[in-house]
Amino acid sequence: KVVMSRDEVLDLYRTAIERDGVPIVSIEDGFGESDHEGWALLTKELGDRIFIIGDDLVTTKDSNIEGCAKEGIMNATLIKVNQIGTITETVLAMLTSLAYRAQLIVSHRSKSPNDPFEADVATAMNAVGIKAGGGANTERLQKYRRVDEIMQTASAASSGIDEYVS
């Protein structure tokens, strides 16, 4: 087990991105949920280049998202549709995140049902991404197929609109 200080962890992230050229797009739960100082440093240091994603930090709860956004300790929110309780609460969490200009990443949870619901939510809310893991499981493939289906439909509709307007 390796024990690192807050500064050592931050330096590890910074070095990987700046010196080693590791193509990091996001860091999810880069510090413990009670280490708001670590989160603030991470967002200040790297938040203009990568997504600093709150997951355990905010738990898809609008009041947690609002508090963390006001502190400026994240710039993206992981949304788990079945984490908070209801669809209404999930939508409120997403709208709160967007109100504070934090990007959305919609995620499935372990033992997710074999349906594409998260893909529908992610595209409907214009999320920057969907997190569903590797394609080894049928329930994950369903979500990726649905995103592809929605994107193809949108592309076809956009082509038709362009032709009509021309």
pLDDT digits (tens, 9 = 90+) for 110-163: 767 778 899 999 999 999 999 988 877 788 888 889 999 999 998 888 877 655
Label residue 95 by pLDDT band (50, 70, 90). Answer: very high
DSSP bridge pairs for 104: 77
> In the prediction, which pLDDT does 161 show?
61
> In the prediction, which pLDDT does 120 show?
94
* Contact status, residue 36 vs residue 25, Cβ threshold 8 Å: no
Residues 6+ apart with CB under 8 A from 57: 29, 33, 39, 64, 68, 73, 74
The secondary structure of residue 115, as a DSSP letter, is S
> In the prediction, which pLDDT does 135 show?
78
> In the prediction, which pLDDT does 149 show?
94
Q: Which residue has the tokens 């409907």?
A: 124
Rg (CA), the chain: 18
Q: What is the percentage of the chain residues whose pLDDT exceeds 70?
A: 95
Residues 6+ apart with CB under 8 A from 116: 142, 143, 145, 146, 147
Q: CA-CA distance, 77 to 127, in Å (whole number)?
A: 10
Which tens digits make up the pLDDT trace of 38-51?
999 999 999 999 99
> In the prediction, which pLDDT does 84 show?
86
The secondary structure of residue 72, as a DSSP letter, is T
Q: Is the pLDDT of residue 54 over 70?
A: yes
Q: Is the pLDDT of residue 62 over 80?
A: yes
Residue 70's alpha-carbon distances to 39, 63, 134, 136, in angstroms, are 13, 11, 34, 38
- pTM for the model stands at 0.87
User: b/e map of 123-144 (b: 16 or more CB within 10 Å)?
Assistant: bebebebbbbeeeeeebbebbe
How high does pLDDT run on average in the chain?
91
User: b/e map of 17-55 (b: 16 or more CB within 10 Å)?
Assistant: beeeeeeeebbbbbbeeebeebbbbbbebbbeebbbbbb
Q: Is the pLDDT of residue 164 over 70?
A: no
Which tens digits make up the pLDDT trace of 1-26?
999 999 999 999 999 999 999 999 99
> In the prediction, which pLDDT does 136 show?
79
Work out the number of other CB atoms within 10 angstroms of the CB of residue 57: 25
